[in-house]
A and B are shown apart, each in its own frame.
Chain A
C-alpha cells in the first residue's frame, strides 16, 4: 500500500503525525515529510490518519502499475 499527500491542501495540522508517526513526520514547523511506501505493520494507523486529516489531503492505494513491471 502506498500514500501520497497533496501538500497544496495539507495545512500542517499534524494529526497524521500523531496517528502514524512512523510514516508521517513534521519537518520544521509546518512541512510534512512522509514515507510513500507504507510498511505492513502501519496500514491501520495510516488508514486512521487518512480519515482524520481535516483537509483530506492523504491519498492511499495500491502502488500504481505494480503489475506492469
Chain B
C-alpha cells in the first residue's frame, strides 16, 4: 500500500457497539489520523441486550445502558444524523443534513432495525411496539409499568421470548404467537424448541404455535388481535418481534454488494462491490455484515450477535490500518447468550448448520443440559441450558471439526445417547427472521440482491 495506513481520514457510519469497538481498536493500533463517527441515533453508543432484560424488568432505566469507552478516542461524533449515500469514486459519505464527509477508508457498521408490522395503519395503533432502540425500550417499559391487561408478543425468536419472559416475571398476562412449530426453533432446532415451548407454558404464557396474527384491531388504540385459526384475543399491547432488517438502503447506489441480506465482505471485512470484486478501502462489520466462514464451508454468515460485533469490529479496524500481509481473518466461532424464564441459554457454533443433535450432558427433563449439533459426522455447534461452564470444551470440538457424535466425557450423564434429527425448519416457516442466516449456498438464491436505483 502506498502511504502510511496509520494516517489519513477514517469515517465510521453507525455509532453503536461495532462502531465504538472499531474506533477504540483503530486508536489502539496506532491510527493517528482523523476519526469521524456518524450515527443516526442522537445518543452515544449504548448496549442493546439489556433492553429486553434488565430494562423491561424495570431494574435499569432505558437511558442507562451506555457502553463504556476503553480508551480516549479523539474522535469527531456526528450523532442524530443519517448517512443517505456513499460516493465510492469521490470517496465521501453523504448525510441527511446535506453535509458530505470525505474519507480515505470507511467502515460500514449500520447494523439492523426492527421489522415493522406489515400493515402500516395497524402498526400505528397506540399500543403496538417494536424493540430495538433505547427509546423503544423506554416507551415499552413505561407501558408495562402501567399494568396492561394482556400483552401480545408476535414472533417467538430470542427477542420475542425474552420480552414474554420479562412480562411474565412482572405478572402480566402474555400471549405469544409464532408461525413456526415452537419458540426458538429457527435458531436451535426441534429438540430445544420443544423444551422452550414447555417452559413458556409452565411459566403461564398463552403460547400459540403454527398460527399467524392476521389483524391487529383497534380504533386509535389497540384493543385486540385476530389469528389465522379464527380465534381472537383482547390485548392492549402488542410487541412485534418479527426479526431485523439490515440498514443497507443508504448504499443502494454505492455499487457495493449491499442488499436485504447485508453488506457482503471477505473474511478480512473488506466489502465486495456488486460484481464480487473486493474493495480495499471500504470495510463492513457487525450485524450489517455478511462474510464467509471456513468452519461452515465458507458459506456467507450474517450474525445478529453481540460477540460477533465486537470481534469483527476489531478485525476490521486492524485491517484498516495494516497493509495486506499483516491483515487478519475474522475466524471467531459464533457465540451468543440469552436469558429467559430463569434459564441461561448459551450457544457456540451455528446450530442451524446441522443435521443431527444429541443431548451430550444433563437432561431435557431438568432443563439443564448441553445439546451438541453435528453436520455430516462432525461437531458444528453446542447449546447449553444452565450449564455454561461446559461450553468451552465443545467450542474446541467445533474448532477442530471433531467427529459427531462426541465421545462421552467421564462426568457426562447422558439421558438419550442417540442423536436425533436436528429439525431445523426452513426460515420461511418462522414468524421472525433467523438471527443466524447461512446464505449463499442455495442455488435458487442469488448471492446479492442489487436494488435498482430509483
Report the nearest A residue to B337, measured CB to CB: A7
Residues B177-236 near A (CB distance < 8 A): none
In the complex, chain A residues whose CB is within 8 Å of the CB of B47: 4, 36
Selected from B45, B66, B70, the residue in CB contact (under 8 A) with A59 is: B70
Contact B306 A37 (CB under 8 A): no
Give complex CA distance A59, B68 in Å: 7
Which of A1, A34, A64, A67 has most chain B Cβ within 10 Å? A64
Selected from B37, B43, B339, the residue in CB contact (under 8 A) with A27 is: B339
Residues B51-93 near A (CB distance < 8 A): 53-54, 57, 59-60, 64-71, 73, 77, 79
Selected from A1, A27, A31, A67, the residue in CB contact (under 8 A) with B68 is: A1
Contact A33 B44 (CB under 8 A): no
In the complex, chain A residues whose CB is within 8 Å of the CB of B45: 64-65
Report the nearest A residue to B305, measured CB to CB: A8
Give complex CA distance A7, B70 in Å: 17
Give complex CA distance A9, B20 in Å: 20
Contact A37 B307 (CB under 8 A): no
Main secondary structure of the interface of B (DSSP, over half): mixed
Give complex CA distance A59, B389 in Å: 20
Contact A31 B343 (CB under 8 A): yes
Asked whether any CB of chain A lies closer than 8 Å to the CB of B346, the reply is yes
Asked whether any CB of chain B lies closer than 8 Å to the CB of A21, the reply is no
Which of B43, B44, B45 has most chain A Cβ within 10 Å? B44
Give complex CA distance A60, B307 in Å: 17
Give complex CA distance A64, B60 in Å: 18
Contact A65 B15 (CB under 8 A): yes
Smallest CB–CB gap between A1 and chain B, Å?
Answer: 7
Selected from B66, B335, B342, B388, the residue in CB contact (under 8 A) with A36 is: B66
In the complex, chain A residues whose CB is within 8 Å of the CB of B43: 69
Report the nearest A residue to B47, measured CB to CB: A4
Asked whether any CB of chain B lies closer than 8 Å to the CB of A16, the reply is no
In the complex, chain A residues whose CB is within 8 Å of the CB of B59: 33, 35
Contact A65 B344 (CB under 8 A): no
In the complex, chain A residues whose CB is within 8 Å of the CB of B70: 59, 61
Known contacts A6-B310, A28-B343; is-contact A64 B20 (Cβ 8 Å): yes
In the complex, chain A residues whose CB is within 8 Å of the CB of B339: 27-28, 31, 33
Asked whether any CB of chain A lies closer than 8 Å to the CB of B5, the reply is no
Give complex CA distance A65, B77 in Å: 8
Asked whether any CB of chain B lies closer than 8 Å to the CB of A11, the reply is yes
Asked whether any CB of chain B lies closer than 8 Å to the CB of A63, the reply is yes
Selected from B20, B64, B68, B310, the residue in CB contact (under 8 A) with A35 is: B64
Report the nearest A residue to B63, measured CB to CB: A37
Smallest CB–CB gap between B309 and chain A, Å?
Answer: 11
Residues A10-69 near B (CB distance < 8 A): 10-12, 27-31, 33-37, 59-69
Selected from B53, B69, B310, the residue in CB contact (under 8 A) with A33 is: B53
Asked whether any CB of chain A lies closer than 8 Å to the CB of B49, the reply is yes
In the complex, chain A residues whose CB is within 8 Å of the CB of B307: 6, 8
Give complex CA distance A62, B69 in Å: 6
Give complex CA distance A30, B220 in Å: 42
Give complex CA distance A61, B45 in Å: 13
Give complex CA distance A69, B68 in Å: 15
Report the nearest B residue to A1, measured CB to CB: B68
In the complex, chain B residues whose CB is within 8 Å of the CB of A68: 44, 77, 79
Give complex CA distance A4, B339 in Å: 16
In the complex, chain B residues whose CB is within 8 Å of the CB of A8: 306-307, 335-337, 346
Smallest CB–CB gap between A39 and chain B, Å?
Answer: 10
20 A/B residue pairs, CB under 8 Å, sorted by A: A2-B66, A2-B67, A4-B47, A4-B67, A4-B68, A7-B337, A11-B388, A27-B339, A33-B339, A35-B54, A36-B68, A63-B68, A64-B20, A64-B44, A65-B20, A65-B45, A65-B69, A65-B73, A68-B44, A68-B77
Besides the contacts A29-B344, A36-B66, A68-B44, what 18 more A-B pairs have beta carbons closer than 8 Å?
A: A1-B68, A4-B47, A8-B346, A10-B388, A12-B388, A27-B342, A28-B344, A34-B54, A36-B47, A36-B60, A36-B64, A63-B66, A64-B45, A64-B69, A64-B73, A65-B77, A66-B44, A67-B77
Q: Shortest 4 CB-CB distances between A and B: which pairs? A: A65-B44, A61-B68, A68-B77, A30-B344
